[in-house]
Amino acid sequence: MLVRILSILMFTPVACGGLQKKLDSELVVSVGLLDSAYGSPYLSLDSVTIFRNDSLLTVWLPQNNQRDTLLVYPNAAQYNFKFKNVLGNVVEKSVSVENSQRKNTTLFLDSTDYRKHLDESWIAKLKDTETIKLVFNLQGCFNAGKDSVLLRRNEGIYFLQYGKEERKLNKEDIEYLTKFECELPLLPDQGFCTSTETYTMTYGSLKKEYVASDCRWNGTQRFFAYFGFKRQN
């Protein structure tokens, strides 16, 4: 998990209009990724819009930011953070800070609403002797390629096959696969990338296809990195 910290420090104003140096309250906000295969968090972050008590406070731009600390006062306030995740979806997070209170929170850029598609998951419905085929098709100006994996279930155990390699999956692997599948419907319709990745899933006579034209999700590379398969194409 990769995390970069920007701090929002709250100081108590003094009568002369300056800032008392003694720290009264502190909110440390970390920008991070649950999946380290994404790379640096700042490759996925456009900006963070920060509201205090429903009023716009600032827009934090990492590419232009020369320091990690923003000075904010008064102490007690409701802070709302709005940013885009790796799928390009807008995510909001609220944090309430009281007087003389110190808090830590993390804005995970790969936090998504994939759970709302769990009922549609083919992986969760897979039965013994059945298989699901997932095809990755990359088309771009500088590279292109096509790969596929086969997921099967035997006596309640899941196996993932790539070429001549096969891996027995544990609970965490299955959860990763299910999340991957359920994030596919959340891919943005449009993006700004020199390449597109097409994901095609086949389950019996059923078929579904999704196209990613935004480089931030980076599904193919993360998928093969997670399962340790060395890509052949």
- Give me the phi and psi of 210, to 5 degrees please: -135, 145
Give per-residue pLDDT as tens, 58-104. Answer: 888 765 444 444 445 446 789 999 998 888 888 999 999 888 787 88
Distances (CA, A) of 148 to 68, 135, 187, 188: 42, 4, 20, 23
Question: In what side-by-side order are the strands of the sheet with 2-13?
Answer: 69-72, 2-13, 19-33, 102-108
Q: What is the pLDDT of residue 39?
A: 62
Q: What is the pLDDT of residue 140?
A: 73
Place of tokens 């027995």: 168
Higher pLDDT, 118 or 24: 118
pTM value is: 0.76
Confidence of residue 196 (pLDDT cuts 50, 70, 90): confident
Give per-residue pLDDT as tens, 16-71. Answer: 444 444 456 777 787 888 877 666 555 567 788 989 888 998 888 765 444 444 44
Going by their DSSP bridges, the two strands 102-108 and 19-33 should be labelled as: parallel
Average pLDDT over residues 175-199: 87
How far is residue 115's CA from residue 121's CA, in Å, rounded to a whole number? 10
Q: What is the pLDDT of residue 198?
A: 93
Average pLDDT over residues 156-183: 96
| Per-residue pLDDT at 183 exceeds 70 | yes
Q: What is the pLDDT of residue 63?
A: 59
Domains of the chain by residue range = 2-111, 115-227
Residues whose CB falls within 8 Å of the CB of residue 28, separated by 6 or more in sequence, listed in order: 5, 7, 8, 102, 103, 104, 105
DSSP state letter for 144: E
